[in-house]
Amino acid sequence: MAATEPVGIVGLDVDDAQAVMMLSTEAGWNQNEADWRFFLSRGAVFGMRNGARLVATAALLPYSAGNAWISMVLVTADFRRRGIATKLVDACLNAAARRGLTTWLDATPDGAAVYGPLGFEPTLQLRRLRLTKPQDTGTIPSLSDGNLDALAARDAGAMGFDRSTLLAEFSARSGSRIVSGDRAMALIRDGRTARHIGPLLADRADQALALVDAIVRSETGPWLIDAVYSQEEFLSGLVALGWTIERPFQRMRFGPAAISPVQPPFAVAGPEFG
């Protein structure tokens, strides 16, 4: 094997936080170090090195009820198109199979073309939107502090399984907020380049839009949100409020779905977390 080829798959831990941050920053992603430390401490993160240099990663994050999320599939620019990402995803799938886990991921269009032949089946679609400056829509809607237990319960209904550990970690971070208003709830947290809204749960699209409007006019952005594509009224409402669609994601599943969600969310926690 040539000296310029990475050798073998290695497991990563919290001591690798700075190295993995370099990969996601190179890709322009919004993850911060707190996100990576959650993956490294709570999940299984696999990597490949070229000498001492980390050149690729993929992460498996277990949830409850036999579910797990695959994400953070990153390869530095000069090592792409060598099959490295596929090998790392296979490592995640093998680890999930040993534990009997159904795996999920949110893929870009290019990623979906890779994951489909591996056995992943498409489920719902997402659209990532960005807002730099909110519109002045008149009176700011009411915004109250939300409750973690209530958010976790509604999130479990939307996902089909419990993610209270993830949401508790998010909400405990400096700068994070759980907010509510008129039967809508959302979690807000810092990213590397923008504040992120999600998950966002509501009974109706108008409630979800009112909450987003209140959030973005209550503090300084920029903002990112990952909206569920089938929530058409909500998505079109965001665009009307000045949000710009940046890219699509396709949610995919490998293995059987154990539980059917009660109602899809209006926005998710992010493609890296589901």
Pairing of strands 102-107, 244-254: antiparallel
Q: What is the set of domains in the chain, with CATH numbers?
A: 10-100 (3.40.630.30), 127-254 (3.40.630.90)
> Which pTM value belongs to this model?
0.93
The predicted structure's pLDDT at residue 170: 98
The predicted structure's pLDDT at residue 4: 64
The predicted structure's pLDDT at residue 2: 43
The predicted structure's pLDDT at residue 1: 39
Q: Is 35 exposed, middle or buried (0-12, 13-18, 19+ CB in 10 A)?
A: buried
User: Which tokens in the block code for residue 105?
Assistant: 């991921």
CA max distance for the chain:
65
The predicted structure's pLDDT at residue 58: 97
pLDDT by 10s per residue, the chain, length 274: 344 666 689 999 999 999 999 999 999 999 999 999 999 999 999 999 999 999 999 999 999 999 999 999 999 999 988 989 999 999 999 999 999 999 999 999 988 988 999 899 999 999 999 999 888 767 776 688 999 999 999 999 999 999 999 999 999 999 999 999 889 999 999 999 999 999 999 999 999 999 999 999 998 889 999 999 999 999 999 999 999 999 999 999 998 876 666 788 999 999 999 9
Amino acid at 164: S
The predicted structure's pLDDT at residue 182: 86
> For residue 96, what are the CA distances in angstroms to 44, 67, 111, 228?
10, 9, 19, 26
